[in-house]
Amino acid sequence: MTLKDWLAAKEVSVSQFAARINRTPETVRRYAAGERIPDKETMPLIAEQTSGDVTANDFFGIAA
């Protein structure tokens, strides 16, 4: 699942999610838009905050 889809499905705003992972809303917007891939410190935070619904594979288009 993409981060963009997860945010929409869970009705979580970019700003809310950014606060959860201690990143700027602009950075999270870029992750959700596919303009940027999270770094190795951020990727686990995203997976944790989405309960594993969004993983590194999702950013690279790799089916699990």
**pLDDT tens, N- to C-terminus, the chain (64 residues):** 999 999 999 999 999 999 999 999 999 999 999 999 999 999 999 999 999 999 999 999 998 6
The contacts of residue 58 (CB under 8 Å, 6+ apart) are 1, 2, 3
Instruction: Round to whole Å and give the CA distance between 3 and 55.
Output: 9
What is residue 63's predicted lDDT score, i.e. its pLDDT? 82
As a dihedral over the C-alpha atoms of residue 40, residue 44, residue 49, residue 52, rounded to 10 degrees, the angle is: 130
What is residue 9's predicted lDDT score, i.e. its pLDDT? 98
Please report, for residues 4, 62, 63, 64, the alpha-carbon distance to residue 14 in angstroms, rounded to integers and kept in the order given. 9, 24, 25, 25
What is residue 25's predicted lDDT score, i.e. its pLDDT? 98
Which CATH number applies to 3-60?
1.10.260
What is residue 64's predicted lDDT score, i.e. its pLDDT? 66
Residue spans per domain, the chain: 3-60
Q: Quote the pTM value.
A: 0.94
